[in-house]
Amino acid sequence: MRDRRRLSVKSITVLAGVSALAMLLAACNDPRPAASLTAQAAPEVGFVTAASQPIRQVRELPGRVVPLRIAEVRSRVAGLLIDRNFEQGTRVAAGDLLYKIDPAPFQVELASAEATLARAEATLVLAGQQAQRLRELLSRQTASQAQYDAAHAAQKQAEAEVAGAKAARDRARLELNYTDVRAPISGHIGRALLTEGALVASASGTPLATIQQLDPIYVDITQSVGELNRLRRDLANGELSRLENGAANVQLVLDGGQVYAHAGRLLFSDVTADPSTGQVTLRVQIPNPHGELFPGMYVRARTTQGIDTDAIALPQQAIQRTDDGKAEVWIIGGDDKVVRQPVEVGSVIDGTWLIQAGLRPGERVVVDGFQKIAAGMQVRPVSQAPRAVEASVSTLRDGTAPTATHLR
């Protein structure tokens, strides 16, 4: 039994040696060169080629919706409200009758003013006749100059009284017209702040209602003074080029990330900075045909403020971070070896990082297979379709949104 076991072990040892010798002979007879074997052992990584292209500089800023115009409906005369002629929350046109104030006291005032005017006009007729009579007598030297002068002065005084009576009549007529409280502007009227039977004072600070124009509508967005000045410097020194015809597109992002259907135009930037925040206000005008935007509503505005004509954009996965948080990328050299390269990144635009420094057009940047590589390792580069990068930039180059006046 022991002899049989020794014989079995020897047989296994001999067979293993024969197998190793056969593999060695096969390797010696393999026609493929050693370099090919090394290439097969190199890990496969995906890359994109860095290319410069014009990219719009887009900033996403917070903003509040404000009405285009707002007017408080007030009474110009004191009186008792007897009628309301509008539906709350509806649209009204300029000149529409909103409230009716009791006109009876003002009708009495108008009648009194007209009677006073009639009396003054009668006095003027008599004074005019007296002055004419004395003028004829003076020409025949049957009246004195003093008599004529007194008659002439009485005529002028009567004319003045007629003018004053006409003004009083016009004022009474105007106040009677003011008993019809009309809409000063067109727009949407809110709730009625006073109802029928309320006593209105002409000097009261309480408005009767509020009208707001909501189409188009304004959006006030805020941007830091530093960013605004940097933008202006970049435009001045040529690092950024202005948009076509000095235009700027603005797109609103609503709650939940929904993009508002209509684009707006940037009107102006404020000239005064908020001392507490160091920010300035930029006003945007945007269509609101369906009333989706309400005053006071919070939105985010994507503003296109310039074009970087030779920008380089990379997919977000191409950017790696060092232990101290600095950005870097993996570059594939001409010998297909990978090296780390520090870069300076800017803002993220539609899923891509803008590269500000550290990368040249034509360099191959690794975007897939990071876990397989180390510095100086030879790799098998496989080009990735750049469709994702082009799609992320094309939405910024199309210019489908309406244009607007640029920052002034």
Q: What is the CATH number of the domain that holds 338?
A: 2.40.420.20
Contact 21, 13 (CB under 8 A): no
Residue type, 118: A
Residue 372 lies in a domain: yes
Residue 371 DSSP symbol: G
pLDDT in tens, 73-123: 999 899 999 999 999 988 999 999 999 999 999 999 999 999 999 999 999
Are 203 and 325 members of one domain? no
On whether both 93 and 189 belong to a single domain, the answer is: yes
CATH, residue 112: 1.10.287.470
- 25 pLDDT band (50/70/90 cuts)? very low
Return the closest-CA partner of residue 88 out of 205, 199, 194. Answer: 194
Q: Are the C-beta atoms of 403 and 249 separated by less than 8 Å? A: yes
Structure tokens at 114: 């007209």
Residues 6+ apart with CB under 8 A from 293: 65, 214, 217, 219, 252, 260, 286, 299
Residues 95 and 202 placed together within one structural domain of the fold: yes
Instruction: Give the pLDDT score at 254.
Output: 85
Domain boundary (178, 197, 229) is at 178
Which of the residue ranges 8-17, 124-133, 224-233, 342-351 has the most confident prediction, judged by mean pLDDT?
A: 124-133
Q: What percent of the chain has pLDDT over 70?
A: 76
Q: Write down the pLDDT at residue 102.
A: 94
Cβ pair 94, 188 in contact under 8 A: no
Q: pLDDT digits over 284-301, tens only?
A: 888 988 888 888 888 888
Read off the pTM: 0.59
**Is 382 domain-assigned?**
yes
What counts of helices (H) and strands (E) characterise the chain? 6, 22
| Whether residue 90 is found in the same domain as residue 128 | no
pLDDT of residue 404: 34
| Angle between helices 145-177 and 104-139 in degrees, nearest 10 | 160
Same domain, 317 and 197: no
Say how many domains are in the chain.
3
Q: Which domain holds residue 49?
A: 44-57+310-397
194 and 80: one domain? yes
Are both 90 and 205 inside the same structural domain?
yes
Asked whether 49 and 329 are in contact (CB, 8 A), the reply is no
Residue 64 within any structural domain of the chain: no
Q: If pLDDT is split at 50, 70 and 90, which confidence band does 346 have?
A: confident
**Of 167, 195, 210, the domain-final residue:** 210
107, 96: one domain: no
Comparing C-alpha atoms, which of 401, 400, 404, 402 is closest to residue 269? Answer: 404
Confidence of residue 393 (pLDDT cuts 50, 70, 90): very low
- Please tell me whether residues 92 and 108 are part of one structural domain: no
Q: For the domain that residue 97 is a member of, what is the CATH number?
A: 2.40.50.100
Is the pLDDT at 392 greater than 60, yes or no?
no
- Predicted confidence band of residue 212 (pLDDT cuts 50, 70, 90): very high
Together in a domain, 194 and 142: no
Q: Is residue 287 part of a domain?
A: no
Residues 80 and 204 in one domain: yes
Q: Is residue 82 part of a domain?
A: yes
Q: What does DSSP assign to residue 385?
A: P
pLDDT greater than 70 at residue 175: yes
Residue 123 lies in a domain: yes
**What is the mean predicted confidence (pLDDT) over 335-357?**
82
User: 341: which 2 tokens?
Assistant: 């390269």
Residue 50 to residues 138, 270, 337, 365, 370: CA-CA distances in angstroms?
Answer: 109, 39, 17, 7, 18
Quick one: which of 207, 181, 194, 123 has its CA closest to 157? 123
The answer to whether position 217 is within a domain reads: no
In a domain, 63, yes or no: no
318 and 350 in a common domain: yes
Give the residue from 7, 40, 55 showing the smallest Cα distance to 354: 55
